[in-house]
Amino acid sequence: MLRALATESFDEVAIEGDRAGYVALASLIRATGRLTLDHAVDAAAYPRSLLSIVVVEKSSDGVEITSSSDGTELRIARPRAVVDTLAHSLGDYPAGMEPGTHLHEEFYFEHPYLAESAVPLVLERSTY
């Protein structure tokens, strides 16, 4: 299970998933493509329920995390050089977290692989 919710202005995205969902996200980041998400029904803090995550390769530095023009997809454009780091940070690590815990993944100087414009992510390990 993996689902993603965004704020109305798309200035933060919450991703919630079980172990299998985050393993699938890590695989997607390593390969590129599209992952269809489960629909989220509780959208109080995050009124947008996203339909999919799309990962593409790019040649320039910095991972870009944005929304599609219609606000239904989370788009991740990543250079080949950071595939393993990004797959670990957004997939492998959350897959191993205790259910009910979360972490924040956003640009700051200790995360130089993310572009400064990258949408901040909240990655939560689901309890079900």
> Which own/partner contact pairs does 102-108 have at CB distance under 8 Å and 24+ positions apart?
none
Q: How confident is the model at residue 8 (pLDDT cuts 50, 70, 90)?
A: confident
Structure tokens at 37: 């998400």
Residue 82 phi/psi, 5-degree rounding, is -115, 15
Cβ atoms 49, 5 nearer than 8 A: yes
Neighbour count for residue 28 (Cβ, 10 Å) = 20
Task: Show me where the domains of the chain are located.
Answer: 2-125
Residue 58 CB-half CA count within 13 A: 15
- Largest Cα span, the chain: 38
pLDDT, position 42: 62
How confident is the model at residue 39, as a pLDDT?
84
Q: What are 48-76's pLDDT values in tens digits?
A: 889 999 999 999 989 999 998 888 999 99
Quote the pTM value. 0.91
Choose among 14, 92, 4: nearest CA to 52: 4
Task: List alpha helices for the chain, DSSP H.
Answer: 19-31, 83-87, 93-95
User: Residues 98, 28: contact at Cβ < 8 Å?
Assistant: no
Cα dihedral sign, 99-35-73-42: negative
Q: What is the pLDDT of residues 69-106, one digit of tens each?
A: 888 999 999 999 999 999 999 999 999 999 999 999 99
Query: Tell me, what's the pLDDT at 43?
Result: 58
| pLDDT of res. 111 | 73
pLDDT (tens digit per residue) in 11-58: 999 999 999 999 999 999 999 999 999 987 665 778 888 999 999 999
CATH 1.20.120 fits 2-125, yes or no: no
